[in-house]
């Protein structure tokens, strides 16, 4: 028998990935995450980042980060419940609550942490979590950490959700319906008004993970709840600070009671150090920009429409995307990865997404259009898609 340190059981699994054609090394980015970047030593158009508004290297955010470092240092030094809760953390949450038009906000160190910490804190044994089958991995993991029972409903299928509620509601104390606001692999928007109506009819709570709706949908990026005019009717709205906001972190917006409870039982807040001051400073500047102008969200949508129209016209299948997330569905796993590699060789970076992130046979390259792209960059990218699509006989 080999020594455990050789990790031969993992080497075998890695070989399986290679056999399936889905093995890869982590790509290395040289410099900031912008619309055109140097990746693995090659200059490419970047169609793979969540930096929707181009804020990750925005001069005002960088300046705000530097100012926060000068005043507060580089680290918070403790978890929030001990001495890591600085006045800027509180100010950031008040500003986010104002932006989201909610009573209160609690910020976590990431969107992933926020889901992991919040779901388990607001549910317990005797409760039921009902989750859309395509919800993000951090929701699935958050639900796993909860002692509540769990079940899924078919993606965005309101008949199925109602069936589940009818059958199970009365067997539980609290029921929590969880959905992504915007689904990250397909770019479709959850039927939130219908979900809220069903929740109200059956006395369930609602939880929306708006990681890809925040900074994208609604007035100046206020999110999916704002997009549908559902303020005050969703119990928990999650947003990330790592995508459109361009920095790092995640938050849950809702009531003061929710925030109060999470400050006692949101485990990532109790056991993991709070966001560094630089991040907090730049997050606040990002929110101030969004509250003062729609320039960035307007540009994002203009670019997204422009690109999607051109890609569709070529004959590619972009599924049911309603947002800047533009999946170009290829199908088979190895073919998807080959398509992505050929795009890269010709100067466009779009990562291939395959099983287990998406169902088998629905491999896709997922294009993320941002406000930072120029029309010229998008035109060049479309040309490359056309050439590779023809070469591989996809078009």
Candidates 89, 100, 136, 366; binder of ligand PMP (CB under 6 A) is 136
Q: How far apart are the first and last CA of the chain?
A: 51
Cα–Cα distance for residue pair 32/286, rounded to 1 Å: 17
For ligand PMP, the closer of residues 119 and 388 by Cβ is 119
Whole-number Cα distances in Å, 294 to 216, 217, 257, 373: 10, 11, 32, 17
Using CB under 6 A as the binding rule, whether residue 297 contacts ligand PMP is answered as no
Q: Please give the backbone phi and psi of residue 180, each rounded to the nearest 5 degrees, phi first.
A: -70, 150
Q: How far is the CB of 29 from ligand PMP (least distance, A)?
A: 16
Q: Please give the backbone phi and psi of residue 364, each rounded to the nearest 5 degrees, phi first.
A: -150, 160
Using CB under 6 A as the binding rule, whether residue 156 contacts ligand PMP is answered as no
Using CB under 6 A as the binding rule, whether residue 211 contacts ligand PMP is answered as yes
> Within positions 237 to 266, which residues make up the interface with ligand PMP, using CB under 6 A?
240, 242, 250
For ligand PMP, the closer of residues 326 and 377 by Cβ is 326
Q: How far is the CB of 296 from ligand PMP (least distance, A)?
A: 19
Q: Which of 142, 123, 353, 147 is nearest to 250 (CA)?
A: 142
Structure tokens, 32? 């900031």
For ligand PMP, the closer of residues 165 and 195 by Cβ is 195
For ligand PMP, the closer of residues 262 and 388 by Cβ is 262
Q: How far is the CB of 4 from ligand PMP (least distance, A)?
A: 31
Q: How far is the CB of 5 from ligand PMP (least distance, A)?
A: 31
Using CB under 6 A as the binding rule, whether residue 282 contacts ligand PMP is answered as no
Question: 164 pairs with which residues across the strands?
Answer: none
> Within positions 107 to 126, which residues make up the interface with ligand PMP, using CB under 6 A?
110-112, 115
Q: How far is the CB of 49 from ligand PMP (least distance, A)?
A: 11
Residue 40 region, left (φ>0) first, then alpha (ψ -120 to 50), else beta?
Answer: left
Strand blocks (E) in 125-204: 128-132, 149-153, 175-180
The region of 39-47, 207-215, 224-232, 372-380 touching ligand PMP under the rule CB under 6 A is 207-215
Question: Hey, which residues are catalytic here?
Answer: 184, 212, 243
For ligand PMP, the closer of residues 110 and 336 by Cβ is 110
Per-residue burial over 262-297, b if 16 or more Cβ lie within 10 Å, else e, is beeebbbbbeebbbbbbbbbbbbbbbebbeeeeebb
Tell me which residues touch ligand PMP (CB under 6 A).
110-112, 115, 136, 138, 180, 184, 209, 211-212, 240, 242, 250
């Amino acid at each position: 028998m080999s020594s455990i340190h050789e990790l031969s059981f993992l080497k075998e699994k890695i070989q399986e990935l290679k056999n399936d054609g889905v093995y890869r090394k982590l790509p290395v980015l040289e410099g900031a995450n912008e619309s055109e970047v140097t990746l693995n030593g090659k200059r490419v158009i970047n169609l793979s980042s969540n930096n929707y508004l181009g804020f990750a290297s925005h001069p005002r955010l960088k300046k705000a980060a530097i100012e926060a470092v000068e005043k507060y240092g580089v680290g918070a030094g403790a978890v929030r419940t001990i001495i890591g809760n600085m006045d800027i953390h509180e100010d950031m949450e008040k500003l986010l609550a104002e932006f989201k038009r909610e009573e209160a906000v609690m910020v976590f160190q990431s969107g992933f942490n926020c889901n992991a910490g919040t779901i388990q804190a607001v549910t317990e044994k005797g409760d039921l979590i009902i989750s859309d089958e395509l919800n993000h991995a951090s929701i699935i993991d958050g639900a796993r950490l909860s002692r509540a029972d769990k079940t899924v409903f078919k993606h965005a299928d309101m008949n199925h959700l109602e069936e589940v509620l009818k059958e199970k509601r009365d067997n539980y104390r609290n029921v929590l319906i969880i959905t992504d606001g915007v689904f990250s692999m397909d770019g479709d928007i959850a039927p939130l008004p219908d979900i809220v109506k069903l929740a109200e009819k059956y006395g369930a709570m609602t939880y929306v993970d708006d990681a890809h709706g925040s900074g994208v949908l609604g007035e100046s990026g206020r999110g999916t709840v704002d997009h549908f005019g559902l303020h005050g009717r969703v119990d928990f709205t999650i947003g990330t600070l790592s995508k459109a906001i361009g920095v790092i972190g995640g938050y849950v917006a809702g009531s003061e009671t929710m925030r109060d409870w999470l400050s006692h039982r949101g485990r990532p807040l109790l056991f993991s150090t709070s966001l560094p001051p630089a991040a907090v400073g730049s997050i606040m500047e990002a929110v101030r920009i969004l509250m003062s102008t729609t320039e960035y969200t307007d540009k994002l949508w203009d670019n997204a429409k422009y690109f999607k129209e051109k890609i569709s016209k070529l004959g590619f299948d972009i599924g049911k995307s309603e947002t800047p997330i533009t999946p170009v569905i290829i199908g088979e796993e190895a073919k998807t990865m080959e398509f992505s590699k050929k795009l890269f060789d010709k100067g466009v970076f779009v990562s291939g997404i395959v099983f287990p992130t998406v169902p088998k046979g629905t491999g896709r390259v997922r294009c993320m259009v941002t406000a930072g792209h120029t029309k010229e960059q998008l035109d060049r990218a479309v040309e490359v898609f056309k050439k590779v699509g023809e070469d591989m006989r996809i078009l």
